[in-house]
Amino acid sequence: MALKITDECINCDVCEPVCPNQAISMGIDIYVIDPMRCTECAGHFDQPQCQQVCPVECIPLDPDHLESSEQLWKKYRRLSASKEKKMP
């Protein structure tokens, strides 16, 4: 399941750099998570890093993007493969 950022976000900027998948970016008003890139940090960390650093705890799981652990790992492998392809 990907995570999502709620409108309680205070745009403190700390989550964006800790995401290993570059899934977090500034949206129109607040930061947003790209569900195509969020793996709940599977493949990188045991815990979602954005949740760990968010001072207002506004990054819950997104029930609109239900995924099994297997699907999250598949996404991780797809992202890793495309990263490798971009390397010279």
Q: Which residues would be at the binding site for ligand SF4 (CB under 6 A)? A: 3, 5, 9-15, 18-19, 21, 23-24, 31, 33, 38-41, 48-50, 53-54, 56, 58-59
User: Among candidates 55, 57, 59, which has minimal Cα distance to 14?
Assistant: 55
Provide, rounded to whole angstroms, the least separation between the CB of residue 19 and ligand SF4.
Answer: 3
- Rounded CA separation 18/38 (Å): 12
Phi and psi torsions of 76, nearest 5°: -60, -45
- Rounded CA separation 16/38 (Å): 12
Provide, rounded to whole angstroms, the least separation between the CB of residue 1 and ligand SF4.
Answer: 10
- Rounded CA separation 67/38 (Å): 11
Give whichever of 46 and 85 is closer to ligand SF4, judged by the CB atom.
Answer: 46
Give whichever of 44 and 88 is closer to ligand SF4, judged by the CB atom.
Answer: 44
Provide, rounded to whole angstroms, the least separation between the CB of residue 88 and ligand SF4.
Answer: 25
